[in-house]
């Protein structure tokens, strides 16, 4: 069933040669429920091929003197239709705050870009049993003042920070409980959004993860640049 969302967050990986090979090897494997998010400068290589394309980050202004940044309006202009917002690597290494993230969400939506909003707790917060508090806080600020009319254009990616790039993965029950909690908070905000899981997904653990019954899809990081692994992940999720 091709109804689950599959996001490939390709991070800062690959060069032109790799991409050439990638596109050939993935040609018949990228189904229309897949959203590919390549490194900015390589996005044009992925456009006009019938794929859903996302950018990994945007600025919240439409234009201006912001050296090194890309606006949602510019992204839309070249055919990008999604943006990841608030990825934990942005929060951690680039000091993105929940307030910045809220501005980015609003700017994306008003410029026709759908948003993949990432939230998740650190290992320390998990150990202190603060996961729910953190998720609620991140969601409430990021989605503050967002009109209900945009609800088809927002996907929540639940990505525990401690599970990203670590090969550590929560149990199906932990993921299920967090997704239920996220959906409860969203309901209180009068929003009905899709929620996906991301963090250390590979072609082996996806067999188990796909059994989580309240999940709307998956966000795959490092494994999404490996054609064998990503091809298999897509096949398993769609089967």
Catalytic machinery residues: 87, 159
Which residue's Cβ has the minimum distance to ligand PGA? 221
219 binds ligand PGA, rule: CB under 6 A? yes
Rounded least distance, CB 96 to ligand PGA, Å: 14
199 binds ligand PGA, rule: CB under 6 A? yes
- Kindly state the helix (H) or strand (E) to which residue 85 belongs, with its residue range: strand 82-85
35 binds ligand PGA, rule: CB under 6 A? no
d(CA 33, CA 3): 7
In sequence order, the 6+-apart residues with CB closer than 8 A to the CB of 210 are 4, 236, 237
Binding flags for ligand PGA, 122-161, as an x/- string (CB under 6 A) = -------------------------------------x--
Among 218, 83, 238, 97, which Cα is nearest to 158's? 218
84 near 5, Cβ under 8 Å? Answer: no
221 binds ligand PGA, rule: CB under 6 A? yes
165 binds ligand PGA, rule: CB under 6 A? yes
3-state secondary structure of 214: coil
Q: How many residues bind to ligand PGA according to rule CB under 6 A?
A: 13
198 binds ligand PGA, rule: CB under 6 A? yes
């Amino acid at each position: 069933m091709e109804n689950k969302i599959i996001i490939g967050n390709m991070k800062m990986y690959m060069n032109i040669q790799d991409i050439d090979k990638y596109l050939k090897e993935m040609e018949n494997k990228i189904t229309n429920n897949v959203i590919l998010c390549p490194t900015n400068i390589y996005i044009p290589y992925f456009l006009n091929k019938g794929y859903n394309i996302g950018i990994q980050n945007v600025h919240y202004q439409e234009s201006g003197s912001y050296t090194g940044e890309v606006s949602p309006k510019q992204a839309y202009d070249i055919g990008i239709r999604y943006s990841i917002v608030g990825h934990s690597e942005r929060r951690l290494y680039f000091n993105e705050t929940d307030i910045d993230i809220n501005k980015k969400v609003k700017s994306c939506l008003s410029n026709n870009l759908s948003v993949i909003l990432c939230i998740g707790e650190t290992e320390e917060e998990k150990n202190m049993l603060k996961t729910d508090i953190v998720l609620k806080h991140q969601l409430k600020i990021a989605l503050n003042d967002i009109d209900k009319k945009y609800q088809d254009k927002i996907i929540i990616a639940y990505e525990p920070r401690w599970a990203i790039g670590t090969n550590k993965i929560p149990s199906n029950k932990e993921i299920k409980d967090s997704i239920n909690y996220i959906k409860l908070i969203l309901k209180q905000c009068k929003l009905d959004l899709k929620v996906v899981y991301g963090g250390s997904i590979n072609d082996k653990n996806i067999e188990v993860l796909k059994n989580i019954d309240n999940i709307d899809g998956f966000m795959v990081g490092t494994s999404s640049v490996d054609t064998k692994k990503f091809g298999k992940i897509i096949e398993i999720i769609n089967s």
